[in-house]
Amino acid sequence: MKTKKGDIIELTIIKYAFEGKGIAKVSKSKLLGEKTDSDEENYVVFVQNAYPGDKVKARLLKIKNSYAEAVAVEILEFSKYRVQPKCKFFGVCGGCKQQDLEYDLQLHYKQLQVEEVFKNIAGLKEIKSEKIIPSEIIFSYRNKMEFSFSDIRWLTKEELESDQKIERNFALGFHIPKIYDKVLDIDECFLQTELANNIVNFTREFFKSKNVSAYSQKLHKGFLRNLVLRQAFHTKDFMVNIVTSEDEPQLIEDYSKSLLEKFPAITTVVNNINKKLSSVSTGDYEKIIYGSGFIYDYIGKYKFRISSNSFFQTNTIQAEKLYQTVVDFAEFNGNEILYDLYSGAGTITLYVSDFVTELYAFESVNSAVGDAEFNASLNNVNNVKFFLADLYKSFIPVVKTNKIPKPDIIIIDPPRSGMHKNTVNDVAELSPQKIIYVSCNPVTQARDVKMLIEAGYKFIKMRPVDMFPHTYHIENVVLLKKV
């Protein structure tokens, strides 16, 4: 009998795929009821929420000619690699996807997945991949957490089965994956510190006690939109950013005063007012309620000013290991001219500034260029110049207009979407001897590396760096050299 979408089948998981899907192999003829030349078990089924060694009952979600997708609905035999997750919200909030997998195995599979991506997408048969760098701490490692308010609270299975009365029209926490208007009320997240957890819970109770409305994504009304917390790991700075749909000075002043009385460790409080319909935490304008409106932190010996909307590596401790990998791969001789593309607030730029003669940084966001220039001044770095450039059309006009000398080395650290093909072409035209490509998305990185190889570069080596324990995400550093 032919199996169809929605059917439940039993599977044994034998491998692990990118983005945390278990792999099972079955006979296509038996599964689909089709006659084939072979009855070998070589038809692949990707199974969500399953690890190698699991035996599961899985519901089929999608059936294609060459593969199927399914989700585990019951685990019949548990893999020996499973561990008890620390968080009570695991499996519901969607943040930590691998908290129930031994950390050493998380690292092992991340390394394999990156290598497999480069083989399949970049077309590399042999890959020299140095051993993945583990995270020094695997809990309480995030320096920034963003929470959402909602007028519709997502209820867990336990809450639905409970006799306890639960308020359903106010929540502060995380959006359920693929559900835009409901929020899981979070009173504890182990990716942030205990202080941060306490501030989340205080904020919830403060506004509930005053009957302040949470924002509705359906109706686009309500006052409270987001709570964003930023904590420095090498200083004692802590920022609370409350994002609202309107400017209500007295209410926010009362909140700030109560907050600081309870948590004197907070060094600044800001209020972003976001009148846009889109669910972003960046306001149309910002008001500083207490303190300077900034926090400061270090990566290596370099100090950085961080505003409420600045980009800064989320795992401060690991960022230094990531940047040191860049330095190790570059093997600077001290006389190079270096370009840094997608330079942001200048974190990589400044970290490598001691190793080169001249440094030119290019960034598409004007405010980031301003942050970078401030950070360079803050650290007395004088051999770097920052430029606003369109990294989606072409940045070479900026190079030519400003008569910038050609680079010996280019460092590239783009967003998850990777490089625009125009930027790839610009890099190839500039023809540096070395390219060091840093990415949080190995898929787009491998795609871009393939284009650079076709443009005359040779893949030398790469090294993954785990910045995000318990998630599928991984940073990867690649070294390319001109042939």
Q: What is the pLDDT of residue 132?
A: 98
Q: What is the CATH number of domain 8-82?
A: 2.40.50.140
Confidence of residue 37 (pLDDT cuts 50, 70, 90): low
Q: Where do the CATH 2.40.50.140 domains begin and end in the chain? A: 8-82
* pLDDT exceeds 70 at position 38: no
DSSP letter for 214, please. Answer: B
DSSP notation for 224-262:
EEEEEEEE-SSS--EEEEEEESS--HHHHHHHHHHHHHH
Q: What is the pLDDT of residue 161?
A: 79
pLDDT in tens, 361-394: 999 999 899 999 999 999 999 999 999 999 999 9
Q: What is the pLDDT of residue 483?
A: 92
pLDDT in tens, 404-435: 999 999 999 999 999 999 999 999 999 999 99
Instruction: Kindly state the percentage of the chain with pLDDT values over 70.
Output: 98
Q: What is the pLDDT of residue 426?
A: 97
Tell me the two tokens of residue 30: 């038996």
> Distance between CA 308 and CA 303 in Å, rounded?
17
Q: What is the pLDDT of residue 166?
A: 83
Q: What is the pLDDT of residue 265?
A: 97
* pLDDT exceeds 90 at position 35: no
Q: Where do the CATH 3.40.50.150 domains begin and end in the chain? A: 114-136+315-482
Q: Which helix (H) or strand (E) holds 435?
A: strand 434-439
pLDDT in tens, 6-27: 999 999 999 888 677 899 999 8
Q: What is the pLDDT of residue 149?
A: 96
* pLDDT exceeds 70 at position 31: yes
pLDDT in tens, 124-168: 988 889 999 999 999 999 999 999 999 999 988 888 878 788 888
Tell me the two tokens of residue 17: 């795929």
Q: What is the pLDDT of residue 28?
A: 81
Residues in the chain: 483
Of 109, 23, 16, 33, which Cα lies nearest the Cα of 68?
23
pLDDT average, residue stretch 214-218:
92
Confidence of residue 278 (pLDDT cuts 50, 70, 90): confident
Q: What is the pLDDT of residue 277?
A: 83
> Distance between CA 220 and CA 88 in Å, rounded?
31
Of 287, 274, 286, which Cα lies nearest the Cα of 220?
274
DSSP letter for 110, please. Answer: H
Helix/strand/coil percentages in the chain, nearest 5: 25, 30, 45
pLDDT average, residue stretch 243-268:
98
pLDDT average, residue stretch 262-277:
96
pLDDT average, residue stretch 81-103:
91
> Distance between CA 111 and CA 464 in Å, rounded?
7
Q: What is the CATH number of domain 114-136+315-482?
A: 3.40.50.150
Q: Is 55 in contact with 31 (CB distance < 8 Å)?
A: no
| Cross-strand pairs, 11 | 56
> Distance between CA 80 and CA 53 in Å, rounded?
7
Q: Is 242 in contact with 266 (CB distance < 8 Å)?
A: no
| Rounded alpha-carbon distances, angstroms, from residue 422 to 25, 365, 411, 448, 479 | 41, 18, 16, 11, 20
Amino acid at 221: K
> Distance between CA 438 and CA 475 in Å, rounded?
7
* pLDDT exceeds 80 at position 475: yes
Q: What is the pLDDT of residue 179?
A: 83
Number of CB atoms found within 10 A of residue 314's CB: 17
Instruction: Kindly state the percentage of the chain with pLDDT values over 90.
Output: 82
Annotated catalytic residues are 440
Q: Is 259 in contact with 252 (CB distance < 8 Å)?
A: no
pLDDT in tens, 170-206: 999 999 888 888 999 999 999 999 999 999 999 999 9
Per CATH, which fold does 144-299 belong to?
OB fold (Dihydrolipoamide Acetyltransferase, E2P) (2.40.50)
Is the CA virtual torsion 220, 221, 222, 225 positive or negative? positive
Q: Where do the CATH 2.40.50.1070 domains begin and end in the chain? A: 144-299
